[in-house]
Structure 1
Amino acid sequence: MAVQVLIRALLLGSLIVSFASMANDDRYQIGAGDTLSIRVFEEPELAIRAMVPESGRIQFPLIGQILVLNNTPGEVADQVTKALLDGYLVKPEVTVTIESYRPIFIKGAVNRSGRHEFLFDLDVEQAIAIAGGLTDRASGEKWFIVRDAEKIKVTAKTPVMPGDVIIVEESIF
């Protein structure tokens, strides 16, 4: 029993570390629909939580609007730090994390098409399962992802990214 509890705790811990590492990964570009948390160390009045609108601009205390769209969390932290150094704070320590990612959309020959929450390490097959599985008329190979306005043919193991639109076409009998 104690071993099972320990194993569960270790698994949960690794999931949290995986989540945190992706949330702070400086390769991830922020998109419309992501929710950001921006904090300045020892400055609680400068802590904000904001969903990124289509314009890509969010309001930050003292600074005003800042463009976050297509920037990494590190780039946004640098931008806020530079602005705060301009007459507001002596040595600001800014942290930007992504609290939640933009949703994915699954459409076509699945049982529950529509908007679904993005989950880490998700592949196309798992996304289809989240959408209730394939319908009887679904194609087993005509699967696509629309990402950055480009339609890409995919397989079951293709990774899904925040904001992806997964399309499952019907097979022709």
Structure 2
Amino acid sequence: MLVEIHKAQLGDLEQLQQICLNAYSQNFAHHWHEGGLDWYLDQQFSPDQLRQAIKSAETDYYLIFNDKLPVGFCKLGYSRLTEPWLELEKIYVLPSEKGSGIGKAVLDMVVHIAEDKGKKELILYVIDTNQAAIRFYERNGFSLQEKTRLDLPYFKEELKGAWQMRKRL
């Protein structure tokens, strides 16, 4: 296994969109009512949305490769630059890659980025029914902080509960 993580540039737009669509859909298609998944994918991962995000100083996307094949992506949010924390907005890998150490490699990279930016904490939000993800984050130093709810149309009501998790650096 050779994991590589690259910050996405405009020239990566097509590849980034493809892995975003694949990784998200393969993990979460069943979380949406009919028509909702397509709506969300267009809201988050259309070429225009991704182009805007890549150009923005408020976000960074990273492509994740295993043995030179794209297997996931990560999005960091800097929109609250004055805050002492960095937000890990998205981290998705293909289901076939789970348990391979890729998530840990990505988290290690995110910790280094946060430390380089002088941040004291990482924060993220995770669906409260996603016990595997919660356990993964807890094993990697995150703790449950506060309960919240996702405000997404078309998302199944019973899956809208979420936790904010934090990790001190």
The answer, yes or no, to whether TM exceeds 0.5 is no
What TM-score results when the alignment is normalised by the length of structure 2?
0.21
Q: Relative contact order (alpha carbons < 8 A, sep ≥ 6): 1 or 2 greater? A: 2
TM-score normalised per structure 1? 0.21
